[in-house]
Chains A and B, each alone.
Chain A
Amino acid sequence: MPELIAKTALSDKKPATFAGTTLAEADPGPVASIALFPGQEKALAKALKPMVFPAPNSFTENGGVRLVWTGRDQAFLIGAEPPALDGIAAVTDQSGGWATLTVTGPVAAEALMRLVPLDLRPTFAVGQAARAPLGHMQSVIFRTAADGFTVMVFRSMARTAWHEIEVALRSLAARAALI
């Protein structure tokens, strides 16, 4: 069988910087959905160690691997292959299904707030995550640094998401240039 080459959704896009803020695609490595079976909280906590299953609207991190809350009793394990969780949780590979973008810089929150109806100023702290619409797209958004966000959208929406965020950044840069 031939070796197939895995490509990310936006592999032809180079990072773009406007108003000192950079939009880039990230290659998160493996992404797996972990959906807890009822009553298996303790077994899951044990099996995931040293990772910690995140509370709603947050993510946990350990050695570059993240567990991001994505729904009721559900999180995405990003950056590592999932452990064996037979009988504890439903594990489904999501790796090819999502596009991952990062927005980093002084106007990252302002740009995203043009598209996401959430207050993403510092009250949305590092470690917080949300399921929220980006325009009309379902997304996963989480803050990884004071000036940095990661945005995940369905792979089929990758170009639209990139375009929308780029337009928001361009608008902010244009406005800053007028002052």
Chain B
Amino acid sequence: MRLTCPLCGPRDRREFYYYGSEDYLQRPGPDAGPEAWDDHLHLRDNIAGEVRDLWYHETGCSQWLIVTRNTVTHEILSTELVADRKKKGVRA
């Protein structure tokens, strides 16, 4: 499996550290109730199909990426920088 880092180009997946669903970017507000925090920290969908996950380019440029891939076909559909997402004004 290879991931195309938006900065470094196509790289072996061993250069990356896998973190988990991009849900981790949707941090609840400080006043959100315990249910919201429980959901944020512990509850994940288990999708057969397209998932969006956080990967860290650990032995490359040290950037966090959002990788969209299909868990059924193993297709990598897109890779984007979390930093660019912030630039575009999406709440992260």
Contacts and interface: CB of A to CB of B under 8 A. Distances in A.
B13 to A, nearest CB: 10
Contacts, number: 42
Contacts of A38: 87
Interface in A110-144: 117, 130-133, 136-138
Contacts of A137: 59
Interface stretch (B28-36, B37-45, B60-68): B60-68
Interface in A34-74: 38, 56-57, 70-72
B77 to A, nearest CB: 22
A117 B62 contact: no
A56 B7 contact: yes
A148 B3 CA distance: 28
Nearest to A134: B59
Contacts of A56: 7-8, 61
A56 B57 CA distance: 15
Nearest to A137: B59
Given A57-B9, A117-B11, A117-B15, A138 B59 contact: yes
B22 to A, nearest CB: 19
A72 B8 CA distance: 10
Chain A interface size, under 10 / 10 to 19 / 20 to 34 / 35 or more: 10 to 19
Contacts of B7: 56-57, 71-72
Contacts of A131: 8, 57, 59-62
B61 to A, nearest CB: 5
Given A57-B9, A131-B8, A72 B15 contact: no
Contacts of B12: 117
Interface string B37-81: 000000000000000000001111111000000000000000001
Contacts of A57: 7-9
Given A132-B11, A138-B58, 13 more contacts: A38-B87, A56-B8, A57-B7, A71-B7, A71-B62, A71-B63, A117-B11, A130-B8, A130-B60, A132-B60, A133-B15, A133-B59, A138-B59
- Pairs of residues from A and B, 4 with the lowest C-beta to C-beta distance, nearest first: A133-B59, A131-B60, A71-B61, A131-B61
29 contacts: A38-B87, A56-B7, A56-B8, A56-B61, A57-B8, A57-B9, A70-B61, A71-B62, A71-B63, A72-B63, A72-B81, A72-B83, A117-B11, A117-B12, A117-B14, A130-B8, A130-B60, A131-B8, A131-B57, A131-B60, A131-B61, A131-B62, A132-B8, A132-B15, A132-B59, A132-B60, A133-B15, A133-B60, A136-B59
